[in-house]
Structure 1
Amino acid sequence: MTFPFTQDSLVRDIVNEFPKSSDIFKRNRIDFCCGGNTPLANAVASNGVNMEVLLTELKDLYEKNEGNGPTDMEVWMDSDSQTIINHVIERYHCPLEEELTLLSPYVTKVAKVHGDGHPELLKVYELFYELKKELLEHTKKEEEISFPLILKLEAGEIENREEALSQIAQLEKEHDHAGEILRELREITSDFVPPVDACGTYRLVYKRLEMLEGETFMHVHLENNILFPRYI
């Protein structure tokens, strides 16, 4: 099969068709969830990435995975909205609330113990708790207000279509804000690489923050680039 992507392909379309590309995009700080509706060329230019090298990486990985059957994202693109929403709540919302709760004391401890010698940890503390508040409020609103409105829109049971569309637009803005916080966290932690003198808890925090970033990106990608476009 011929490699189907070019510099004019939208980032979100590449990830929808070839989800493993998300690993390459994350490594190159290319936003495929909130900023996914942009041509690859634009995303590359704004991040100072070499287009030729990136396309070669994508092509090599694509050829290695060719013929492996339908991907998760392809399955979700063919799923109804109720199924996607149920999956988002069970796979992302519930584990997210648990992880944010469990990670909080570690972030606090590391900032308190090592903040004097590593002042960037004070910024990590600040950004993490901003992200925690944002995500918990966001997921609660989705479950209680936005998702029910979307399902009513799907079923044709809503008179004010603009209300549902306004909800979707607001969710996308909140996704953008969360994405910006994650970008700041990645920058301030030098791509989540701890210093050589970091203790075990310090390293644990960075590792789990990076995992949180990955989960959030896939969560937002599923909503922004598969669920929401059905109604916009």
Structure 2
Amino acid sequence: MTFTITENSLVKDIVNELPKTSDVFKKNRIDFCCGGNIPLSQAVAQNMLNMDSLLGELKVVFEKYENAEKDVEVWTESDSNTIIDHVISNYHRVSEEELKMLSPYVTKVSRVHGDNHPELLKVNELFYEFKKELIEHMEKEEAIVFPLIKQLADGTFENREEAINKIVELEKEHDHAGEILRQIREVTSDFELPLDACGTYRLVYARLEALEGLTFMHVHLENNILFPRYIA
């Protein structure tokens, strides 16, 4: 996948293709919602920005996305320590950042459009439940379970049953997170946008769907590649 954003790319098209670029535009005071139907060059001129610097910021977002979307099958041959480090860097840190950045958008959309679209109130409730659950889950993985797995891999941890029980707990938490995401998809009718959806509304749905994909890849790497090594 090649970085194809240029000074002629429309701001709205960039956000539609890669929703997390909205953070870059927000930081640089570029209106990507109502004023997004302009080329990047015009947005740069209006806000007296440096084109090379802005393209550099957008490329960083693109590369993070590209790395997170790489085929995880390559990890089947990797040692457990390498997989754990990869999960922390490419899923835990990325998920933490996205949950933090997406939160105000979800809140704003539910507050502004909740009266006409009550499903957004449920989306807001489910999102914050998911955020709390996932953050606590990742903290447990890093503080308790991943160190146990590393000790199992190194042959330095003798109580295998304790480690297996902890891994099974994580799998149950994965199931619960997946159920919350299923409910979000259900209540949004598979992220179908209403006719009156504004730019921020569209952004929230796009990023929620991307967060779902990121979480599924995270869980796949653990449930289907890492954990079976110890509980099969």
CA distance in 2, matches of 1:91, 1:164: 24
Structure-2 residue corresponding to 1:183: 182
CA distance in 2, matches of 1:170, 1:205: 30
1:74-108 per-position Cα deviation (integer Å, ceiling 9, x unaligned): 31000000110010000000011010000000100
1:118-138 per-position Cα deviation (integer Å, ceiling 9, x unaligned): 000000000000000000000
CA distance in 1, matches of 2:197, 2:116: 11
Structure-1 residue corresponding to 2:104: 105
Report the RMSD for the aligned CA atoms in angstroms: 0.9
Q: Which amino acid aligns with 1:145?
A: I
- How many residues get paired? 162
Structure-2 residue corresponding to 1:87: 86
CA distance in 1, matches of 2:141, 2:98: 18
Q: Which amino acid aligns with 1:134?
A: E
Listed as ranges, the matches of 1:45-194 within 5 Å are: 72-194=71-193
CA distance in 2, matches of 1:99, 1:74: 24
Secondary structure at the counterpart of residue 227 of structure 2: helix
For structure 2, list consecutive stretches of 5 or more residues without a partner in the other structure: 1-69
CA distance in 1, matches of 2:94, 2:154: 29
Q: Which amino acid aligns with 1:198?
A: A
**Structure exhibiting the larger radius of gyration computed from Cα positions:** 2
Structure-2 residue corresponding to 1:206: 205
Q: Which amino acid aligns with 1:128?
A: F
Structure-1 residue corresponding to 2:55: none
For structure 1, list consecutive stretches of 5 or more residues without a partner in the other structure: 1-70
Structure-1 residue corresponding to 2:15: none
CA distance in 2, matches of 1:102, 1:73: 25
Structure-1 residue corresponding to 2:229: 230
Cα offset, 1:171, TM superposition: 0.2
CA distance in 1, matches of 2:73, 2:206: 29
CA distance in 1, matches of 2:228, 2:169: 14
CA distance in 1, matches of 2:72, 2:100: 28
CA distance in 1, matches of 2:187, 2:165: 33
CA distance in 2, matches of 1:151, 1:203: 42
Cα offset, 1:193, TM superposition: 1.6
1:174-219 per-position Cα deviation (integer Å, ceiling 9, x unaligned): 0000000000000111111211111111110000000000000011
TM-score (norm 2): 0.69
Task: List structure 1 segments (4+ residues) > 4 angstroms apart after TM superposition.
Answer: none
CA distance in 1, matches of 2:121, 2:101: 19
**How high is the sequence identity, in percent, across the aligned residues?**
73
CA distance in 1, matches of 2:71, 2:95: 20
Cα offset, 1:72, TM superposition: 3.2
Q: Which amino acid aligns with 2:210?
A: M
CA distance in 1, matches of 2:120, 2:137: 25
